[in-house]
Structure 1
């Protein structure tokens, strides 16, 4: 089967060989694919792999040979899964590869909000510590995690692993999950409805997929329900935030802080509102990108293809007709 990878550069910029997938079928690899080149590059593909290259209903209609779509990520909003299902094309994702990488990055962002280590390191290099004349100094409030309440919106693999780390820091945890989930064995954990989570949380971290229901789940109304010194962490998908509403809350002091690894359009635009808001920290969609996580993702993607070829597809995200 002809296998095409539309945008492989982020998964393997040179340190993560395609061997697990190439050993199944030799692949045609493109590091990046522009929208106008998708159909030409995909027209003969039977197996098509994408990370962020969009596969719309209109595009899929022009790919008659296509039998399988593999998303090289956990989120699969780049694919019209309903259109694929109507053609009997399974769409798979790669869950679980970043069970350590993303939760660890969440806490890196939380610590940047609470301790601002990078800022103080820079100020030391600029001579501010020496000028201060004291054995210590700080220019931002220094806060601890113990006893704070962490609100986790979405409680799949990533949310569950965030809770595991939060428990180690002695945090209280509230989790919102639209569908029932097993109860973790933490005394300081409870499931809550969204309103309660918003009202009680000191830190809110997003780990839900991007759907019609979750788009702009953080908006003017939900922001008004939060504590004024609360901080928001988003390592999931940019459009979970109404970015204009969040920027307004940061500027007016109605939101204590924001740390994001994702924005609605990537790479970030020069005029994005978060580039000029206070108490805002932005990383360039790298939470997932440890070598350990990318190696695991590669193997899961290969295992998904093998399972499909064996007639027992796994990690299928669409309901096949």
Structure 2
């Protein structure tokens, strides 16, 4: 029998369902339809979460492993001679030792493009909450109460319209392009920033110049050696005063200490982020206590529709592999 294990299937179900202490999940734990995934596997076990000490035991008899964030390294692969396929339930695959998989003739596939509209939605939620000072509005409602206010309008802080403002987008791939489209619908002027040390492409603006004219900066580039801590003190120093920063890409793009300091001293007007450098974050992460910050806990990818597409694509990846028609193959 061909056995498949999903090591952290709990990442695809709402957090209120993950409070169940059962090690294994069933379809009732999900708000999406996982039947397509179940049907393509002869035997499918859905584990809620898997820590490093549990990996070997749970994978011992599996020909196919599905993982979102559980690390699959060379040491583990060496103990799984039957392993044929690793399916990443995400786009990024930095939790897989790709070279080791290639050397051992283990195929690795991922799922790309499933969450574009979901991420775009969260991106603009963060932008609008910051720009419209939603936190101040909520605080005033709770502390003072509109019903006790002498006027029909209760405005704790003035906010500006998006129309006519400038948004710089760093990373103009699938998500960056989708963000540009929505931004233009709001009447924003779009600037595409060219990363440093790269040849300037048509339609792009050097990063330093782009930052100096930006009301909003939205990050959509991958995390690489080149972009690690891209948003550092030098980056912040080049920003137009009053600029807001949005990060729905990767937490490691930010030098979090520098960004927190800039928020405290006002050189950065606000930060909206769906990602942090370490997740879950440590209690002393400086962004958690910085002012003018809106944080969502890495939910940008996780709309119902995006998670359903992800599951369907995982099923197609496994079915394609079984029938010698592999798809979305990394190695």
Q: TM-score, normalised by structure 2?
A: 0.86
Q: What SS is found at the alignment partner of 1:78?
A: coil
How many Å apart are 1:258 and its aligned residue? 0.6
* 1:240 lines up with 2:256 in the alignment: no
Q: Structure 1 pair 129/282, CA: closer, same or farther in 2 (3 Å)?
A: same
Matched with 1:271 is: 284
Q: Structure 1 pair 164/94, CA: closer, same or farther in 2 (3 Å)?
A: same
Matched with 2:23 is: none
**Structure 2: 5+ residue runs without aligned partners?**
14-28
Structure 1 CA distance for aligned equivalents of residues 107 and 166 of structure 2: 40
**Structure 1: 5+ residue runs without aligned partners?**
184-189
How many Å apart are 1:97 and its aligned residue? 1.4
How many Å apart are 1:118 and its aligned residue? 4.5
- Decide which moves more: 46-55 or 221-230: 221-230
Matches for 1:69-88 after TM superposition, within 5 Å: 69-88=86-105
Matches for 1:201-216 after TM superposition, within 5 Å: 201-216=214-229
Contact 1:2–1:47 under 8 Å retained in 2: yes
Q: Structure 1 pair 129/157, CA: closer, same or farther in 2 (3 Å)?
A: same
* 1:153 lines up with 2:193 in the alignment: no
Contact 1:77–1:211 under 8 Å retained in 2: no
Contact 2:116–2:301 under 8 Å retained in 1: no
Q: What SS is found at the alignment partner of 2:111?
A: coil
Structure 2 CA distance for aligned equivalents of residues 196 and 111 of structure 1: 25
How many Å apart are 1:114 and its aligned residue? 0.4
CA RMSD of aligned residues (A): 2.3
Matched with 1:308 is: 321
Contact 1:106–1:233 under 8 Å retained in 2: yes
1:21 to 27, 37, 45: 37
How many Å apart are 1:167 and its aligned residue? 1.2
Q: After superposition, what is the alpha-carbon deviation per residue over 1:155-205, rounded to whole angstroms, capped at 9, x for unaligned?
A: 22211111111111111112246799x99xxxxxx4334333333322111
Structure 2 CA distance for aligned equivalents of residues 310 and 43 of structure 1: 23
How many Å apart are 1:262 and its aligned residue? 1.2
Q: What SS is found at the alignment partner of 2:252?
A: helix
Structure 2 CA distance for aligned equivalents of residues 127 and 140 of structure 1: 15
Contact 1:75–1:209 under 8 Å retained in 2: no
Q: TM-score, normalised by structure 1?
A: 0.88
Q: After superposition, what is the alpha-carbon deviation per residue over 1:108-164, rounded to whole angstroms, capped at 9, x for unaligned?
A: 000010002353144224335455533323223302111111122222221111111
Contact 1:155–1:177 under 8 Å retained in 2: no
Contact 2:120–2:175 under 8 Å retained in 1: yes
Q: Structure 1 pair 45/213, CA: closer, same or farther in 2 (3 Å)?
A: farther
Q: Structure 1 pair 314/196, CA: closer, same or farther in 2 (3 Å)?
A: farther
Matches for 1:247-258 after TM superposition, within 5 Å: 247-258=260-271
Q: Structure 1 pair 128/175, CA: closer, same or farther in 2 (3 Å)?
A: same
Matched with 2:56 is: 39
Q: What SS is found at the alignment partner of 1:35?
A: coil
How many Å apart are 1:259 and its aligned residue? 0.9
Q: Structure 1 pair 307/174, CA: closer, same or farther in 2 (3 Å)?
A: farther
Structure 1 CA distance for aligned equivalents of residues 80 and 243 of structure 2: 47
- Decide which moves more: 303-312 or 266-275: 303-312
Matched with 2:20 is: none
Matched with 1:196 is: 209
How many Å apart are 1:277 and its aligned residue? 0.7
